[in-house]
């Protein structure tokens, strides 16, 4: 998403020049390393040789991220002066580089929160809530948040979390959502290649994305179990990969979930066809993960023109948009019976499901396109640059 945002900013706004400082490593893919530098779409990319971030343990991942931040700091101090440094939460130690450069050059930095560390690690059980590492990371996170000129949260639930837990004033937080491209994910009819290839003819419930620690798959599979013998029209397709894949496979076999099908990621060219195959698509969060992230898949579901069935708390950004736009159904976490009932109700009312889908597509086009999001980021960068100029006078 960040490359798309950078390209949009560079092409849309003549006053924007962008340098990117990143790693030469490839997180996943065929090649081992990327070139040391290149110019892409008018954007200069500078890549550094640092340890790979996908290490086996939490401590080693943190060390690899810290090494990147240190090397990035040193490299950025050799580059021209910048009006604004823009930094995200991956790797978690990346704000070290932004804060070092901001102090040395009297610049300002804007901090984008996608996955708030260590809070996310605590929520999924990877770190203890009161361990020494968690305490140290929370102190560092508080400094980075309060040192930023503006913090960008990708949802109102995240803004509220930053205010309540870290004491960050709401006026310093800009809520800018994720997005989807209505051209890359067009509104397509239901008779797709994915359906034809796999023989789906009835009501298809789709989960497409990462099988990660943030997702509450137990509720989804429990609902599938309730529907298995109750409604033969309804099938579930889980498309993706991740740390919970083996857990999904075990549950499907042990519970005899003959209405649940597991598929690998599809190619980018097949993605829109996959989303259009659904009669309804699923979004889910583990309890405790609200405010720490917003599932980006939600915006692709909106673009596909399909209703969302969201297993999330009512305060989450996804729940708020569903209520505002009438584009789906929200059910409580761990309430498999309510989820099964919601799915059954949409399967029994196809006209209402289609109406929700049309409202979803309309919401995407009005609120959540890349062009609209880029405008908001541009305004935040202008404000940060102006604050920096005033600070240097």
Q: What is the pLDDT of residue 34?
A: 86
Rounded Cα gap, residues 393 and 373, in angstroms = 31
Phi first, then psi, for residue 112 (nearest 5°) are -95, 125
Question: What is the chain's length?
Answer: 393
Give, for 251, the enclosing helix (H) or strand (E).
helix 245-254
183: which 2 tokens? 């051209």
Per the listing, tokens 């109700």 go with 345
Q: What is the pLDDT of residue 29?
A: 59
- Reduce the secondary structure of 262-309 to three states and give it as a string: EECCCCHHHHHHHHHCCCEEEEECCCCCCCCCCCCHHHHHHHHCCCEE
Nearest Cα to Cα of residue 325 among 360, 295, 375: 360
Half-sphere exposure of 83 (CA within 13 A, CB side): 15
Rounded Cα gap, residues 274 and 179, in angstroms = 18
Alpha-carbon distance values, 321 to 100, 368, 376 (Å): 37, 11, 18
Q: What is the pLDDT of residue 31?
A: 64
| Local mean pLDDT, 10-residue blocks, the chain (393 residues) | 94 94 78 86 94 77 91 93 92 93 90 92 87 92 95 96 95 96 94 96 95 86 94 93 92 96 95 98 89 92 98 96 98 96 96 97 97 97 88 63
56 in Cβ contact with 83 (< 8 Å): no
Per the listing, tokens 């600070």 go with 391
265 in Cβ contact with 271 (< 8 Å): no
Per the listing, tokens 């898949």 go with 297
Which residue(s) pair with 234 in the sheet? 203
Q: What is the pLDDT of residue 332?
A: 95
CA 370 to chain centre: 14
84 in Cβ contact with 108 (< 8 Å): yes
Rounded Cα gap, residues 157 and 159, in angstroms = 5
Rounded Cα gap, residues 260 and 258, in angstroms = 6
**DSSP letters of 131-175?**
SHHHHHHHHHHHHHHHHSSEEEESSHHHHHHHHHHH---GGGEEE
Rounded Cα gap, residues 209 and 296, in angstroms = 9
Rounded Cα gap, residues 83 and 388, in angstroms = 7
CA angle 145, 181, 309 (to 5 degrees): 80
Half-sphere exposure of 150 (CA within 13 A, CB side): 25
Q: What is the pLDDT of residue 310?
A: 97
Alpha-carbon distance values, 341 to 254, 356, 360 (Å): 23, 17, 21
The pTM (predicted TM-score) of the whole model is 0.91
Predicted confidence (pLDDT) per residue in 372-391, tens digit: 999 999 999 999 999 887 76
Q: What is the pLDDT of residue 26?
A: 81
3-state secondary structure of 82: coil
Rounded Cα gap, residues 207 and 309, in angstroms = 10
């Amino acid at each position: 998403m960040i490359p798309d945002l950078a390209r949009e900013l560079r092409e849309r706004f003549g006053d924007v020049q962008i340098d990117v400082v990143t790693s030469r490593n490839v997180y996943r893919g065929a090649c081992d390393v990327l070139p040391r530098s290149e110019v892409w779409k008018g954007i200069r990319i500078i890549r550094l040789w640092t340890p790979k971030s996908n290490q086996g343990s939490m401590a080693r991942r943190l060390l690899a991220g810290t090494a990147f931040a240190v090397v990035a700091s040193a490299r950025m101090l050799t580059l021209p002066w910048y009006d604004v440094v823009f930094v995200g939460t991956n790797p978690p130690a990346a704000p070290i580089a932004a804060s070092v450069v901001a102090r040395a050059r009297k610049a300002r930095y804007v901090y984008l929160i996608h996955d708030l560390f260590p809070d996310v690690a605590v929520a999924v059980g990877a770190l203890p809530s009161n361990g020494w590492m968690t305490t140290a990371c929370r102190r560092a996170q508080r400094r980075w948040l309060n040192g930023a000129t503006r913090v960008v949260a990708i949802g109102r639930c995240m803004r509220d979390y930053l205010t309540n837990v870290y004491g960050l004033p709401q006026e310093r937080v800009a809520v800018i959502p994720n997005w989807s491209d209505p051209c890359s994910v067009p509104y397509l009819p239901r008779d797709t290649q994915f359906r034809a290839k796999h023989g789906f003819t009835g009501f298809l419930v789709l989960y497409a994305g990462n099988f990660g620690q943030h997702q509450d798959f137990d509720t989804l599979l429990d609902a599938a179990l309730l529907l298995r013998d109750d409604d033969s029209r309804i099938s579930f397709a889980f498309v993706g990969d991740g740390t919970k894949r083996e857990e999904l496979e075990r549950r499907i076999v042990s519970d005899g979930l003959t209405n649940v099908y597991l598929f690998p990621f599809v190619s980018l060219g097949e993605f829109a066809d996959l989303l259009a195959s659904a009669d309804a698509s699923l979004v889910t969060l583990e309890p405790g993960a609200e405010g720490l992230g917003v599932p980006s898949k939600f915006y692709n579901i909106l673009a596909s023109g399909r209703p969302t069935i969201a297993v999330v708390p009512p305060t989450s950004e996804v729940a708020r948009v569903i209520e505002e736009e009438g584009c789906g159904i929200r059910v409580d976490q761990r309430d498999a019976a309510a989820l099964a009932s919601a799915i059954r109700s949409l399967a029994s009312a196809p006209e209402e499901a289609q109406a929700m889908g049309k409202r979803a597509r309309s919401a995407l086009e009005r609120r959540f396109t890349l062009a609209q999001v880029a405008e908001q980021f541009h305004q935040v960068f202008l404000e940060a640059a102006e604050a920096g100029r005033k600070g240097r006078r």
